[in-house]
Amino acid sequence: MLEVLAKKISKLRGEEGLSQQQMSYLLRISRNTVSRLERRKINNPNKEIFERLNRVEELLNIIGYTLRKDPKKLIKFLQTPQDGLRGYKPYDLLNNAFSFEVLLDFIKGSKSGEMS
């Protein structure tokens, strides 16, 4: 599992231009933990990290080119309360599968230009 996790984090960071700090924010772990995961220096990584990484990857696949290719805009979008999400910040909905589905439905129903 560590090998898959390490490759996935490195690949996703490279493709999306995310820093370790930005990836740590998305995964709700420390930057140091991201570094250690990429270098395969963690024994028995938490299963929740893998689940969050899968959600982040899915989010980035549907979020739209404008936000995906500009990590600062992506983070700003995730931190900004959205009316279509009853005032919740998208970031707050990344944490569990049910609320993540709500977030995906919101994004799929919106055009990236309409999202702040």
Would residue 113 count as lying in a domain?
Answer: no
The stretch 91-96 carries a mean pLDDT of 88
Would residue 115 count as lying in a domain?
Answer: no
Give 55-73 pLDDT, tens digit per residue.
999 998 888 677 777 888 8
- For residue 110, give the amino acid letter: S
Q: At residue 113, does pLDDT exceed 50?
A: no
From the CB of residue 39, how many other CB atoms can be counted at a distance below 10 Å?
10
The residue segments making up the domain with residue 97 are 2-108
Would residue 13 count as lying in a domain?
Answer: yes
Dihedral, 85, 77, 93, 61 alpha carbons, nearest 10: 110
Would residue 66 count as lying in a domain?
Answer: yes
- H helices within 39-113, ranges in order? 47-62, 65-68, 71-79, 97-108
Would residue 114 count as lying in a domain?
Answer: no
What pLDDT is attached to residue 1?
81
pTM of the model: 0.84
The contacts of residue 31 (CB under 8 Å, 6+ apart) are 20, 21, 24
Would residue 49 count as lying in a domain?
Answer: yes
- CA gap 93, 11 in Å, rounded: 23
Average pLDDT across the chain, whole number: 88
Q: What is the domain count for the chain?
A: 1
